[in-house]
A and B are shown apart, each in its own frame.
Chain A
Amino acid sequence: MKTAQISGAQLVLLLFLCRSFNMLTADMHNVTGHYGMEQLLAIPLSLLLQALIALPAFLLMKKSNRGMTESALWTAGKTGVIFPMISCVYLVTVTGITIFNLASFLANAIYPGSSALFFAIALTAAAMFAVYLGLEGLSRAAVIVFFFFLISLFLTTVGVSERIQLLNIRPLEQDSLSVIIEGAWKIFARSSTVYLFVLLVPYVKEKKGKSFIWYLIAVGIMMEVVSFLVTAVLGELGVTEAYPFFMLTTIAQISIFQRMDALHVSIWVMVCFLRVTLFLWVMSRQLHAVLPVRMRENGRERWILPFLSILSVILAAIMLGNRKTADFMLNSISTGIADLVLMAVLPSAFLLVGALRGLFEHQKKEESL
């Protein structure tokens, strides 16, 4: 498996695209019950929240001069294994939900009557192959897809601009503050890519802090644009639509381009492919780091990726076959507890353990020597 490092800009583009996947499904997008000012104000607040919650993880990595998994093992010894284990369970779940979302969208809106499982398996198989090509190749692909994404977003915006009605943006109400705070939390809970940023920091060559700020700004702008369009064009209709942004693309018309939805779907498939690949790559790296040396020597590590991929597909298949399970999975991942534990609680605990054991001072002395 190739492990070449990438630049901060490449990471920002890659994670921006991965985050954009959530904007296209209502389950991951609508966080305030109704689209309107509350949704638009919840976005900047959630960005602040994400930055604050990720702070302990960044601090731990800076103090230990290691990645998250390595820091956990370094500070807490064998107990630190708990971190990559919880992390992998979380990432597998998110990967399964991503595969489920794409497969159910294709079977519902594009290829009615087709097997959703077929799409899930095909996507995962392609992602597995891409994982072997490494992070650098994935980042390069993301740059190309990013430009397609921008073109699609721009054309869609222009195509629906005539239908924008500012009256559709619901005004703030008396209990809006609590709705905004709740919405900001929900956006944070659905932002697994912030956690991915934390995990990918060791693979970034330079300007890690700046990259994080740029990532938050880029995601914030994208979310505001998409939320504004959905709100101003669809109004209350957006609440009942399963794929509100897809609805926008079906009505967007620019000159001879009357099928923006077709362009949008193809880009969405590419974005989904990048997202699943990145998740599988990160999980593989994490499990690889905690695999016992003997197993590594026996060449067992090559089974990590197929194991994770199969697990993700099984999860997606269960969700595709049972609506209650799908709802349960989506609701439980949307609580934000997992993100909070992985980015704030555990890193804070490792910081404390490291400080008590004097590891950081020792590290500082070693570095100064």
Chain B
Amino acid sequence: MKRLLSIGLLIWVAFLFCGCDNHLIRLVNLQDRAIVQGVGIDWDGKQYIVTMQVFSPEGSGGQTMVDASKENARIITCYGQTVAEAVEKSALNQGKEFYLGHNRIVILGHKAAQRPLEGLLSYFVNSMDSRPDVSLLMTSGKAADIISANISQSILPAMSIENTVSNAERNGLTEEVFLFDVLEALAQPYRSTLIPFIEEETEGKEDEKDLRSIKIQGLGLFANEKYLGEIQGEEVTGLLFLRNKMNDAFFSLKTEDFARAAVQLYSSNTALNLDGSTLTANITCEATLLELELYDNAVFDNDALLELEKELEQKIREDCIWAFEKTVQMRADVYYIGDRIWKENSDWWEELKKTWPVGMEKLSLECQVDVDVLRTGLQRTQTY
């Protein structure tokens, strides 16, 4: 009898653990889930507008469930005083429960980005199934426009956007920023953070969906949860060097010997040191010569390469100084200088910390760049 009771108990427990009891372990069937791939947040002055791109597979009639040539996504828009309220209110007009576990991007519209950042993102921190490695982006217009842009370079539009940002980061054009990175910077009141700035690429005809894409415009800077402004172009390059986030950046240069030369970095390292009120950036890079066009009388030798290296060093130095000046002007401590002062000179930090990043302007930047073009492809330099 005891054995029978034990077996019965075990079977009952087994049923509980496999999720056959909805009271003890809450479960939602897959068909009742709306798998969110991307979220756009806008603020209309009174309430949040949350636009979600939901995975909706469109088969081509063949064996596969997902047709890569289709959008495979539908757009759901909801409104609320808070992001959570907007998401909850979506239950009024659609019958599925949102699942944020596969969410790839969160895009902040321009007005939403003006709101206190920590409060804006707190939903994604506290939401049970949201993950901290979701990519954060912002746009100068409405996030809804980007989310519903039907970019079809990949199986899913959100995936296309995420891939674009990742690719740009690999090429040293931007920094991919995750929710976690922003939360980490916000937790330390002296630090500033940044978010990539994107725009919808409007080239191509309206019906040419394949040509639609997004373009990385720059980086939006935030300090004390507030949006400060945007930096673009060479300032972004300099900022990435100073933050030691530079990857395989590409540079086009001209020297006395080279009418045109293309160099790509394959290794870069920046060490920031604080000496009194001087911030020293020691940047060491290794690069590949990808393309060259010599002037008629010029020779491709070591001297020509050295000159090229010097030119690139000067270019990087200028970019870094521009970026530093711009961020100091905007009072954005994206290099965590405050932390360095705290470590190096705690007495000075006691004076500065009350108003930091006000006080950044007292610092100057000294840039020491060392570039080695160690790889010259299949061409060799003349040694005679």
Contact = CB atoms under 8 A, between A and B. Distances in A.
A, B from the same assembly:
yes
Given A236-B188, A247-B132, A167 B24 contact: no
B64 to A, nearest CB: 22
Nearest to A252: B133
Given A115-B25, A118-B24, A251-B132, 11 more contacts: A111-B25, A114-B25, A118-B25, A122-B13, A122-B16, A165-B336, A167-B343, A173-B346, A234-B184, A250-B131, A250-B133
Interface string B333-367: 00010011011001000000000000000000000
A311 B180 CA distance: 40
B346 A235 contact: no
A251 B346 contact: no
A68 to B, nearest CB: 35
Interface in B103-154: 128-129, 131-133
Contacts of A299: none
B2 to A, nearest CB: 14
Given A109-B128, A236-B187, A247-B132, A114 B26 contact: yes
Contacts of A167: 336, 339-340, 343
Contacts of A133: none
B25 A235 contact: no
Interface of A: 108-109, 111-115, 118, 122, 125, 165, 167-168, 171, 173, 234-237, 239-240, 247, 250-251, 253
B65 to A, nearest CB: 22
B309 to A, nearest CB: 28
B347 to A, nearest CB: 10
Contact of B26 (A113, A168, A235, A236): A113
Chain A's interface: helix, strand, loop or mixed, by majority? Answer: helix
6 contacts: A111-B25, A122-B16, A167-B339, A234-B184, A235-B184, A250-B131
A104 to B, nearest CB: 13
Given A167-B336, A251-B132, A239 B13 contact: no
A114 B24 contact: yes
A118 B24 CA distance: 6
A264 to B, nearest CB: 14
B3 interface: no
Range, interface on chain B: 20 to 34
Contacts of B342: 171
Interface string B11-35: 0010011000001111000000000
A113 B25 CA distance: 7
A247 B13 CA distance: 31
B211 interface: no
Contacts of A118: 16, 24-25
A317 to B, nearest CB: 14
A251 B129 CA distance: 14
A278 B336 CA distance: 46
B294 interface: no
Contacts of A235: 184, 187-188
Contacts of B86: none
A264 B233 CA distance: 42
B103 to A, nearest CB: 13
Contact of B133 (A108, A240, A251): A251
Interface string B187-215: 11000000000000000000000000000
A247 B179 CA distance: 12
B23 A115 contact: yes
B279 interface: no
Nearest to A109: B128
Contacts of B292: none
A210 to B, nearest CB: 40
Contacts of B25: 111, 114-115, 118
Contacts of B188: 235-236
B183 interface: yes
Contacts of A113: 26
A115 B133 contact: no
Contact of B343 (A125, A171, A236, A251): A171
